[in-house]
Structure 1
Amino acid sequence: MYSYRDVAAGVADGQWQSGFQHYVCEGYKVYAPHWLFSEEYYGIFNPELTASVFRAEGFANGYDHYLSGGECDYRSGSFFFDPAVFSYFSLRASCPARGGSKVEAGSCYSLFLDGAYGRADACRVSWYFDPVWYLKHYPDIHDLIQKGEYDSSLHHYLTTGQYNGYSPQASFSEEFYRKEYPDVAACVAAGQFRSGYEHFLVAGAAEGRVPAPGVSLAQYTSLAPVRADIESGLFRDPYSHWMASEEKQDPRFCSDDLVETEARLALRQLAKGLTAEAARKPLDFTCSGTPAVSVIMVVYNQFSLTMKGLASLRDNFSGNIELIVIDSCSGDEVSRLNRYVSGAKIVHLRYNAGFLLSCNMALEFVTADAVLYLNNDTILGPGAISAALNRLQSDPRIGAVGGKIIRTNGLLQEAGSIIWRDGATFGYLRDQDPNCPEANFVRDVDYCSGAFLLAPTALVKSMGGFDRSYCPAYFEEVDFCVRLIRKGYRVVYDPSVIIEHFEFASSASSESLALMQRNRRIFVARQSEFLRNQLPAHAGNAVLARSRRGDGPRVLYIEDRIPLRNLGSGYVRSNEIVRSLARSGCAVTVFPVNVHYHSLGRIYGDFPDTVEVLYNRSEVGFDAFLEERVGSFDAVWIGRTHNLARILPILNKNSRYLPAKGFVLDSEAVVSPRLLMRDRVLGLDQRREQMEDMLRAEFDCAYYCQQIVAVTEQEAGFIRQAGHRNVSILGHALQTRPTAATFAQRSGLLFVGAIIDEYSPNLDSLLWFMKEVMPRLRQRLGNEIRLTAVGSRTRGVDLRGLREFDGIDIVEGVESLEEIYNLHRVFVAPTRFAGGIPYKVHESASYGLPVVASDVLIGQLGWTAGHDTLSGGAPDAETFAAAVTELYRNEAVWTQVRDEALRRVKADCDPEQFDVSVREILEAACR
């Protein structure tokens, strides 16, 4: 009754004998029965358990289902009780009842409440609350529990503590969080959140906010396995993942760097262990036909490492390799390398010629069109040589290709390298995580390490190989790359070319240091003209110096989130804009305002490899980011008006770090008319503001931008009505690719669209369609007719109301829609309120699946009902059902609408015109 004061009042005045009586009679429909169970939570995170399922199985509600066996399969009714966590810690706790056996999943909740596994405060039951710390930090609570006022520390926190500023565990400080984030403190004061911790769990963790002093999750959340675990649903957020790794001391996520000397020793021992096998099965480099690449490897002793490097080379590339090995008078088994390697050109010198002269000597044996300089202490990542060859062949202006070099401790040696004005060199991102976004996009650089350097043979020979002035080694590849650049060629860093480097040769002896200094002086003297245009040596210049300036502008692209194509909701169009900018030669950096967690494979597979995708950034660090990237951008393209409004204070504050002009606001969708339309459709209270006032308020921030983008002429008119004349129009880019199935081979209805929140137009349209239209269609087409609803859903959005209907199949997480479009006969778009332009209609038409759409969407598209699509009215249930029936039954009409829509998509969504429009918008903003 503490939580429901109306119930307490009812008991007090005699309306109910107890809170339990109220719950049994009325409360079970909407009220939570226990401080550790939420009916809403149970429904949202178990969406298959709908009211119809409960009725069919005889359960009153979710709690009835949970207590009657729903505990099985590790279900939960609260963020603060995780059966898997309870089971894990209960086995470790000192408790006679456990008997050394695993806790049954179906009994966790009951066992915890009954105290069968010892005191409830003995161990964790979720990653979000630490009872041991809580009682130690707030010792007075122990006495309250002893008096029977609370069952446990968690009971105290959830019913009292969180309302009074208590912290739940050491890694979250309620006091710090509210002080650090005044906006959160204001929300708590206004009653929007019960505590700062509730805000952190609902939004703050995803936004990248800091939970306590010294607890920064930024680097941790960039780890590939962490992001993959969150996307797969193993963990709700990076905070719970971090807590789990800390508690379990999981070595996969250990924050301590691996000691490199130990790693080198381990690799050396592994290499030695392969020696016996090398004698039994010699490596075969016999080249039958024209070689795809000639590999030059200079060797001096280190037999076991050499064999490991050669084995990696042979396994890495199935094509013809012309292997040329120069042995600089080795004294170990390398001198008998012919016993272990066949088909290679192996030259044994009687003296140590050094790296440079040996490489130049090997050039005379090279016959392939491309030559690869490869250290013997390297291990190649999957497909490294193929990726490097593909990059080299992609542009005749490319003179050299290098890759991402990772040291034996798992950290970067370099991701491309920098040459400073004074002739010093710098391996970009040395000692950083190889998965960091800054290391994972293709760019032109000053030079790449000679540990792996691929170049066109004719070009290398025309330059005479490495300059002999740098004998025996050091600065030879630096000078070589500079000479390439001065000839007009590109030196390209490609992160898909991954090399693990033992770095044995990189000793720091006094002799080598003296040689480096001597060769640096030679380099400065020879390349002074080039060096005077380089940046001064300073760590703050690394971001500017990491890429050589290309022909196109450098664009910062800001969106709600990383715009993955399968998210829908305008993100397909955003993704296409990024692709278009990249196609036009722009250096694009994608910055998300909000943090969302997707696997790195999913992220990088959705963008051109030349785009820098800052998946680990958010608005929380935007201020520092702009200072860090001072002078890095020529233009800023901002997706969605609310994002500009949100970051405008930061842009103003940091304007000295940004270009004076070149700002583009891409509205994506004008919100004001959609809100008015929604209020009218849903019968909500009508807003007092007039349309013009709402538009002016919505675009009040747009003054900051030199160019504003609308998706249709209709929406451009709204923006002009708000007082802005600098408006361009940019729709969608789509290729028509009609699916092959015939009319007779298809069946069923299809809907595609993302559901981002409970007010989503897509959710509203589906609910309306299933309630009003589907019963009419079943009367006309039979009960076997079904609707497949496909799309992404924001975690936490409740779809139970939609799942209640018969005849609907909800499909989430589809990577490719082509086969789904090929199976269905009619696409339905029953949208009742919307803004922007409906990509889902364009996409469906491009796949050759004809559409029945509401007049709202037809108006936005500018299409003609009865030709490009059939009209479902405003929508109107009877009109919509009749149109679907006509299109579903009449093959002639179906074919005619399909063909007309394909022609319309070709005209409206021409990719070439899309690229032209993007370039014109950017040029207008920068003019």
Structure 2
Amino acid sequence: MSESASAPVLEIREPRWSRFDAQWYLLRYPEVRDWMREQGQEDPYSFYLQTGQCYGHSPNRYFDEMWYRDAHKDVRQGLIREEWASGFAHYIATGYKTHSPHWLFDEPGYRRRYPELSQRFLRENGFRNGYDHYLEIGESHYYRGHYFFDDELCRELALTFPDHFDSRIGLFGSWLGLPSHVADAGRVSWYFDPVWYLTRYPEVRQEIAAGHYSSALHHYLTNETPRLFDPQEFFSEEFYKQAHPDMVPSLEHGYFRNGYDHFVHHGAYEGRSPKEDVDLAAHMAQAQVRNDVRNRLYDSAFAHLVAGQTGLGEGRMAALSGVSELPEEQSKLLFEREADAILPSLIRHPLDFTVHGIPEISVLMVVYDRVALTAQALASLRANYAGSIQLILVDSGSHDQTRHIGQMVCGATILRYRYNIGYLQGCNLALEKAEAPFVLHLNNDIRLYPNAIVHALKRLRFEADIGAVGGKLIRTNMRLQEAGSIIWRDGSTYGYLRESDPNLTNANFVRDVDYCSAAFLMVRTALLRRLGGYDSRYMPAYFEDADLCVRILKTGMRVIYDPGVVIEHLEFGSSGAAGSHALIRGNLKTFARLQHDFLRHQQPAHIRNAILGREHRISQRKRVLFIEDRLPLRRLGSGYVRSNDIIREMAALGYQVTVFPVLPREQTALDLFGDFPETVELIVNQDLSGFADFIQERVGYYDLVWIGRTHNMARLLPLLNESSRYLPLDGPVLDTEVIATPRTMERIRVLGLDEPDSSFDEMLQQELESARFCQQIITVTSHDADLVRHAGYENVSVLGHELSPQPTPAAFEDRHNILFFGAIHDEGAPNHDSLVWFVDSVLPILDGVLPADVHFTIAGFVDPKVDMTVFSTSDRVKIVGPVGDPRELFDRHRVFVAPTRFAGGIPFKVHEAASYGLPQVVTTLLCDEVGWTDGEELLAAPANDAEAFAAAVVRLYQDGALWEKLRQGALAAVERDCSPVRFRQALSDIVQSCIA
């Protein structure tokens, strides 16, 4: 674009939106050619500057002049005062920083959606604003610039009309230049249907034909009577207004363009019904819908609903959900055909099971025909474990190519029999040859998942009281065969969670069980020999593994279910179901007779007893129900890290912990299985609404109920009273996490809010009212404990944080920049408020002192509903959001800040920063809360003195000797105050005192 007086020279390059596009301009305004001839003009850009912008012409496809004037009141007023020659001139000069330039791009929304796009990030990467980023790389990286433009849907349109799309300018740029008949041929958003819209409102076609609008979407987003038009068949303006009157005042005050504007930005996430007979809340309740939204397949449940109703989203949903579930008959056939496919390779390249010295494990496998299955199982075994395996194969009278199995394996011991001696006798004969300290009974109709043998061996090697280890058996249809097994009182057995999803959290925690199937059962060799192997009274097979596990339990040894040991099993693949069922019925009677003394202590055979029966009764582990707002993931910061530590330590102390979240939240597999000990049961398909049923189902199961946060105690109290007969007699433990009354009063003072009607003591009494129902109250600090006593409760204990010093190594001179690391769950919460104060009041002071390249990094969990753009406009701010391992982050920064103005409890972020060896500047409030000394472990400044806080930051940033002194002082303080040994002992004392 030629430069105008109102357009500053761009420092790096010209964004697309800043360029005058002469070719597009003449096509968009064909009358300009005649006007130019009349005026003797030859240069379209000169004509635009002199005449076109006065008529409201747009300079390119990316900027809509008339819409810009109408949408931004300040621009309109500036044009009236003749401060700007056009809206585009305003945008080039200053508007690009904050204003949306086009009705199909939302600059503030784009920056909110992607908070990492701070002003500093954009500048460092050569972008003028979010729109520049979107046009250059955002679209190609699947960033979303507006609710009403989905590039995936637009791509489908491009496939239909390839001649109208130009890859050089992308889908968005191409769509902006489409003729109306192409633009209106199909959706480019789940939020708008142009075909339906033009059918419903035929007068819009006339408006488009007259040149007043370029498309149906253009009309919908820019017409002057937006409340008179519905965008598609799944939304009704009239219904929405009547069904949700609470939003009408916001509509009348002009905060939203129409009801749909409110719905798209808020209602669709709140589950509000968009139209009669459309139950969005019910749709949101479906797990698959939540998963699809969480995985960003759709940006809301409403978009998901529309896609499903129209049928247009089936391909996209199938891409995530994968192939439909196969009937088991077909999945079994596929399993066998895959086995057939491996044979040629093994004939040419035999598997090597040669043992040098003493083997680590002896694998016993009895085979009868089915050579392909055997070959597949052996290939899986060899690939699964690289260590020394003694393979003992028993060929029980096979008639097929199993007789030549020796050509496919070398180094194996092969025992051959002329007739079928049966599984049980074959295993006992193979046991005589075993030389390793551990024996693995392994079927030949299985495939091992990664590290199955490693996990089982680790259990037996490091826990001397474990006699046998079994795993998670998954059938060929990817449904559970068992997650450990239950032996009922009548001798019958039940594979726990059979037919369920293998990824259910209650199938994925380690526990003691009655028995595990010998499709994969690893046993100590000495123990197995002492017991005489399988009992021959169960010949030829079935119930011998259940009987063996019972006899192991009778010796005082444990049988463990390990979900890390995963086996795919072709059920009845080696014997045939018909004959198997007959053998099962006969041997059940034998088992019930031989193990009567064991069975009379088992649970009666009923599915409702599965919860009690899934763990072997001999286990002396006490059970704790741990209740929190949500699953306490460490990345969530705040009090969730401490809750996570409590759960970890409870598990380490030998307690069986179940974690129950009060609030529904979707979690990823990484969250669920990567952040908690393997023995902890996580409840993810329940919340407060199902708590009463949950407790009733588990009547008598728990020895202690631990409730995190006082507000959860208040929420649960009616349900706890109603369900008290199902719960421990002595009542729950309340872990307050923080006494909120002081924080509330300080917030009122700091923000200058109206004084509350209640006094401090009245508020404290109200906060702790539900505590009188608890057998023990836990606080994080002695100060909070004193407040609890002040409220009239003496049954209080203190449990703080646990942390070990782990200082990052970088020296003072190798570090740069300032860091804040903490969770931001709500706008106005302590961390959010502290950042607003620091960015608005402290950073401007630092601008005049610290070099311009010193930036302020904001890191940690950010709830999606929090608008981070309030911080991103500063050139110093860099927003990185959540990080996995924060060590590298702490290692490269020089100063940590905690500018908290109101808070309660112990500020974990102060302890955490100190544990990483990063010196910090905090408010005097936090200094008092941790009980450290200004100038010894940290620097402190009042929260109402930005000058003093800035001066402390500068001092610490520039003084290497002070930096080192504070670093060492804080590390010593963490070791003193946050000792994991003391934390575990304090927790142990509390729990033991509460469990009778």
Task: Give yes or no for TM over 0.5.
Answer: yes
Deviation at 1:800, TM superposition (A): 2.1
3-state secondary structure, aligned to 2:556: coil
Q: 914, 934, 940: which one pairs with 1:845?
A: 914
Instruction: Spell out the pairing of 1:376-415 with structure 2 (5 A cutoff).
Output: 376-415=444-483
Give the number of the structure with larger relative contact order, counting CA–CA contacts within 8 Å between residues 6 or more apart.
Answer: 1
Which residue of the partner structure matches residue 543 of structure 1?
611
Task: Select the residue among 788, 801, 822 that pairs with 1:753.
Answer: 822
Taking the aligned partners of 2:290 and 2:502, their CA distance within structure 1 comes to: 10
1:641 is aligned, of 702, 707, 710, to 710
Aligned to 1:271: 339
- Tell me how far apart the structure 1 counterparts of residues 472 and 859 of structure 2 sit (CA, whole Å): 38
Q: Where does residue 313 of structure 1 map in the other structure?
A: 381
Q: Which TM-score applies when normalising by structure 2?
A: 0.80
2:983 equivalent in structure 1:
914
- Residue aligning to 1:811: 880
Distance in 2, Cα, partners of 1:722 & 1:283 = 73
Larger mean CA deviation between 139-148 and 337-346 belongs to 139-148
Counterpart for residue 111 of structure 1? 175
Equivalent positions of 1:822-841 (< 5 A) are 822-841=891-910
Q: Structure 1 stretch 490-499 or stretch 42-51: which is displaced more?
A: 42-51
Alpha-carbon distance between aligned partners in 1 of 2:634 and 2:347, rounded to the nearest angstrom = 51
Structure 1's 115 and 594: CA in aligned 2 closer, same or farther, altered over 3 A?
A: farther
Structure 1 counterpart of 2:157, one-letter code = S
Q: 1:326 is matched with which residue?
A: 394
**Residues 873 and 509 of structure 1: CA distance in aligned 2, closer, same or farther (over 3 Å):** closer
Residue aligning to 2:268: 201
Change (3 A) 1:581 1:162: farther
Check 1:450–1:101 CA distance in 2 against 1; reply closer, same or farther (3 A cut). Answer: farther
Structure 1 window deviating more from structure 2 (67-76 vs 465-474): it is: 67-76
- 2:493 corresponds to which of 425, 438, 442: 425
The reply to whether residue 876 of structure 1 matches residue 940 of structure 2 is no
Alpha-carbon deviation of 1:234? 5.7
Q: Is the 8 A contact 1:561 1:595 kept in 2?
A: yes
Partner of 2:55: none
Corresponding residue to 2:189 among 122, 126, 132: 126
* Mapped partners of 1:917, 1:641: distance in 2: 20
SS of residue in 1 equivalent to 2:786: helix
In the alignment, is the contact (CA less than 8 A) between 2:437 and 2:526 conserved in 1? yes
1:190 positional shift: 8.4
Q: Is 1:706 matched with 2:706?
A: no
The answer to whether structure 1 residue 789 and structure 2 residue 789 are counterparts is no
> Residues 141 and 153 of structure 1 are in contact (CA less than 8 Å); yes or no, is this contact kept in structure 2?
no
The equivalent of 1:292 in structure 2 is: 360
Corresponding residue number in structure 2 for 1:601: 670
Please give the per-residue CA displacement for 1:287-332, whole angstroms capped at 9, x wherever unaligned.
Answer: 1122111100110001111111101101110110010000101011
In structure 1, how many angstroms separate the alpha carbons of the residues matched to 2:168 and 2:773? 60
Which residue of structure 1 lines up, in the alignment, with residue 44 of structure 2? none
Cα distance in 2, alignment partners of residues 847 and 920 from structure 1: 29
Letter paired with 1:275:
L
Look up the match of 2:842.
Answer: 773
Distance verdict in 2 for CA 1:565–1:62, change over 3 Å: closer
Per-residue CA deviations over 1:573-594 (Å, capped at 9, x if unaligned) read 1110110111111111222233
Tell me by how many angstroms 1:853 deviates: 1.6
How many Å apart are 1:662 and its aligned residue? 4.0
Q: 1:261 is matched with which residue: 326, 329, 332?
A: 329
Alpha-carbon distance change, 528 to 177 in structure 1, aligned in 2, over 3 angstroms:
farther
- Shift in alpha-carbon separation, 1:313–1:645, aligned structure 2, 3 A: same
Pairing 1:390-539 to 2, within 5 Å after superposition: 390-505=458-573, 509-539=577-607
* C-alpha spacing 1:885/1:546, structure 2 compared with 1 (3 Å): same
Tell me how far apart the structure 1 counterparts of residues 126 and 530 of structure 2 sit (CA, whole Å).
84
Alpha carbons of 1:240 and 1:358: their partners in 2 closer, same or farther (altered >3 Å)? farther
The CA deviation at 1:877 is 2.5
User: Do 2:731 and 2:773's aligned partners in 1 also have CA atoms closer than 8 Å?
Assistant: no
Q: 1:294 to 1:698 in 2, by over 3 A?
A: same
Residue 434 of structure 1: CA displacement? 1.2
Unmatched runs of 5 consecutive residues or more in structure 1:
none
Say if 1:554 and 1:586, in contact at 8 Å, map to a contact too.
yes
| Deviation by residue 1:7-57 (Cα, 9 ceiling, x = unmatched) | 99x99xxx999xx99999999898988886655423301435567899999
How much has 1:909 moved relative to structure 2? 0.9
SS at match of 1:79: coil
Question: Is residue 346 from structure 1 mapped to residue 414 from structure 2 by the alignment?
Answer: yes
Aligned 8 A contact 1:854 1:875 in 2: no
Residues 302, 508 of structure 1: alpha-carbon distance in 2 compared, 3 angstrom cutoff: closer
Paired position in structure 2 for 1:716: 785
Equivalent residue for 1:571?
640
Q: Are the aligned partners of 1:35 and 1:159 in contact in 2 as well (CA < 8 Å)?
A: no
In the alignment, structure 1 residue 665 sits paired with structure 2 residue 665 = no
Q: Counterparts of 2:859 and 2:207 in 1: how far apart (Å)?
A: 51
What residue number does 2:50 align with?
A: none
Name the aligned partner's letter for residue 910 of structure 2: V
Q: Give the match's secondary structure for 1:274.
A: helix
Partner letter of residue 269 of structure 1?
R
Say which SS state the counterpart of residue 735 (structure 1) adopts.
coil
Shift in CA distance, 433/685, structure 1 to aligned 2, threshold 3 Å: same
- SS in structure 1 of the partner of residue 812 of structure 2: coil
CA contact 1:752–1:840 (8 Å) conserved in 2:
yes
User: Which residue does the alignment assign to 1:855?
Assistant: 924
Q: Deviations over 1:610-660 (max 9, x none)?
A: 111233443354444334444432322222223333444444444444334
Following superposition, the deviation at residue 116 of structure 1 comes to: 3.7
| Contact preservation (8 Å) 1:173, 1:212 | no
Q: Is the 8 A contact 1:551 1:585 kept in 2?
A: no
Deviation (angstroms), 1:374:
0.4
Shift of 1:269: 1.7
Contact persistence 2:469–2:561 (CA under 8 A)? yes
Cα distance in 1, alignment partners of residues 869 and 399 from structure 2: 74
Give 1:835 shift: 1.9
Q: Provide the C-alpha distance between the structure 1 equivalents of 2:125 and 2:510, rounded to a whole number of angstroms.
A: 57
Task: Give me the CA root mean square deviation.
Answer: 4.3
Give the equivalent residue in structure 2 for 1:894: 963
Kept in 2, the 8 Å contact 1:662–1:926? The answer is no
Shift in Å, 1:774: 3.7
Shift of 1:906: 1.6
Which is further off, 184-193 or 708-717? 184-193
Does the aligned pair in 2 maintain the 1:83–1:109 contact within 8 Å? no
**Equivalent residue of 2:568, what SS?**
strand
Q: 1:303 aligns with which of 368, 371, 375?
A: 371
1:35–1:155 contact (8 Å) kept in structure 2: no
Provide the C-alpha distance between the structure 2 equivalents of 1:48 and 1:197, rounded to a whole number of angstroms.
23
Report how far residue 400 of structure 1 moved. Answer: 0.8
- Stretch moving more, 499-508 or 368-377: 499-508
Whether the 8 Å CA contact 2:103–2:221 is kept in 1: the answer is no
Preserved CA contact (<8 Å) 1:354 1:471: yes
Q: Deviations over 1:450-481 (max 9, x none)?
A: 10000111111100011111100010101111
Q: Report if the CA contact (8 A) 1:639-1:668 is conserved.
A: yes
Which letter maps to 1:201?
A
Instruction: Tell me if 1:90 matches 2:157.
Output: yes
**Percent identity over the alignment?**
44
Unaligned runs of 5+ in 2: 1-65, 273-277
| Displacement after TM superposition at 1:815 (Å) | 1.0
Instruction: Report the Cα distance in structure 2 between the residues aligned to 1:158 and 1:482, rounded to whole angstroms.
Output: 75
